Structure 1
Amino acid sequence: MEEKVMYIGTVCELTGLSERQIRYYEERKLIFPNRTKGGVRKYSFEDVANLREINRSLKDGFRTFELRSMLDKRSHGGRKL
């Protein structure tokens, strides 16, 4: 699930998010797609799940800096968003 195989258009279809929203979440360091030599973003199924979770959390009233903090804690053994 961690292999980065999808392009942003596919991720948009799977998440219902716009390309701009996905890029914004990347700018806010909430997701980390790989880049090809040509600079094209590639995403994994785990990224798709994280994007859905991020979007749901934002709709619930969290802010991106709060989500970033939660992601930092999660990466150090904490719980999910």
Structure 2
Amino acid sequence: MSYKDKKVLPIGSVSELTGLSLRKIRYYEERGLILPERSGGGTRKFSFTDVEKLMDIANQIEDGMQTFEIKKIYKKEKQKDKDKIRDEMIRGQLNAAFKMTK
């Protein structure tokens, strides 16, 4: 796991880094656009990847997109990533199978 993916930043720091209000960050979480982890005490913990994603969301909102549209885009991207991983696994299995028959 990359340091960028570790969920260690509290919401206050994320707000400072992004310029977004705490309310906006919580709203994006409610809409399912960002998924912070929760500590044992319930504190939200974000990663640097989350910070980048929040900046992307803010830019898209500024460009006139709605949160449901952004969520749709992220779902498509996530599915593409899953499909790519599946394809790579299948390709690897086929390569392994053909090497075994030699």
**TM-score in terms of structure 1 length:** 0.94
Match of 1:12 among 12, 15, 33: 15
Report SS of the residue matched to 1:77: helix
1:21, distance to aligned residue in structure 2 (A): 0.2
**2:10 counterpart of 1:2:** no
Q: Rg bigger for which structure? A: 2
Q: CA RMSD in A?
A: 0.8
Structure with a larger share of its residues in helix: 2
1:77 is displaced (CA, Å) by 1.5
Identity of aligned residues (%): 50
What is the aligned counterpart of 2:44 among 22, 41, 50? 41
Residue of structure 1 in register with 2:66 after alignment: 63
Structure 1 segments, 4+ long, off by >6 Å, are none
- Residue ranges of structure 2 left out of the alignment (5+ in a row): 82-102
Q: What is the TM-score with the length of structure 2 in the denominator?
A: 0.75
C-alpha separation in 1, matches of 2:21 and 2:62 = 15
In structure 1, list runs of 5 or more residues that go unmatched: none
Aligned length: 78
Identify the structure with bigger relative contact order (alpha carbons < 8 Å, sequence gap 6+): 1
